[in-house]
């Protein structure tokens, strides 16, 4: 009989957080929806304890709100919340993009280029889930190349609130195509060590994301 190995609780709640985050980001759990612990525990195949720890993790990230006497709900941002948060993230990505263009190494550039080609393949397949995952890795890699841990941590904290909305900003195929072209331009700026070009491009990229999200909110899609 095979030996049964126990999984550390920390690993369980991290795995649960990873899967719960994907459900929220990709819209399987709608913004404002209450998190049903019993159903989620069954779906994620974990007990209530690691699930609750996972929910607390996502609350710290801003994807979940813990409401008194109501439990946890997926965060629902108002149009003003969205505009304010994108204003902040645009400034952070503007700074990190410019610094990355100045400080990036050849190995880092090669890794971002490889991620970009993988992302293009996902775009060609219209695999939005894989595309978004690779897109997020590219933005994280650009932030890492800026070599500023404070900026990197601040970016992660603010961007966590926007993950679900950034995912949905690609629902419109024309806007998705534009985002892909902007990523191609990012690679060119990084390779040319063009800090000012990268700065302007990152602001434009985030403004387009903001406008796409606000348009979907106005249409009642989000």
The ranges of the chain with pLDDT < 70 are 1-10, 221-222
Which fold does the domain 79-219 belong to in CATH? Answer: 1.20.120
For the chain, which residues make up each domain, given as ranges? 9-74, 79-219
CATH number for the 9-74 domain, one of 1.10.10.10, 3.90.1150.10, 1.10.10.60, 2.60.40.740?
1.10.10.10
State the pLDDT at residue 219.
Answer: 81
Residue 196: per-residue pLDDT: 97
Judge whether 143 and 152 are in contact, CB under 8 Å: yes
**pLDDT of amino acid 183:** 97
CB of 161 within 8 A of CB of 180?
A: no
Which pLDDT score, from 0 to 100, does residue 1 have?
A: 32
pLDDT at position 160 is: 85
Angle at 22 between CA 113 and CA 80, to 5 degrees: 90
Q: What is the pLDDT of residue 222?
A: 62
pLDDT at residue 164, as a whole number: 84
pLDDT computed for residue 221 by the predictor: 67
Query: Cα–Cα distance between 50 and 54 in angstroms, integer?
Result: 6
Cβ neighbours for 195, distance < 8 A, ≥ 6 positions apart: 97, 98, 99, 101, 102
């Amino acid at each position: 009989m095979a030996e049964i190995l126990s999984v550390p609780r920390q690993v369980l709640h991290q795995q649960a957080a990873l899967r719960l985050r994907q459900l929220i980001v990709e819209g399987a759990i709608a913004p404002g929806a209450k998190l049903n612990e019993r159903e989620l525990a069954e779906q994620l195949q974990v007990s209530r304890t690691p699930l609750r720890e996972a929910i607390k993790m996502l609350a710290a990230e801003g994807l979940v709100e813990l409401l008194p006497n109501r439990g946890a709900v997926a965060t629902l941002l108002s149009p003003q919340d969205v505009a304010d948060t994108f204003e902040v993230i645009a400034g952070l990505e503007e700074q990190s993009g410019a610094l990355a263009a100045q400080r990036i190494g050849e190995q880092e550039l090669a890794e971002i280029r490889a991620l970009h080609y993988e992302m293009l393949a996902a775009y060609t397949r219209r695999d939005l889930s894989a595309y978004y995952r690779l897109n997020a890795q590219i933005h994280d890699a650009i932030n890492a190349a800026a070599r500023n841990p404070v900026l990197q941590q601040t970016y992660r904290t603010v961007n966590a609130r926007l993950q679900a909305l950034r995912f949905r900003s690609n629902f419109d195929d024309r806007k998705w195509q534009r985002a892909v072209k902007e990523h191609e331009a990012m690679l060119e700026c990084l390779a040319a060590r063009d800090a000012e070009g990268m700065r302007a491009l990152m602001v434009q990229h985030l403004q387009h994301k903001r406008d796409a999200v606000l348009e979907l909110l106005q249409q009642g899609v989000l």
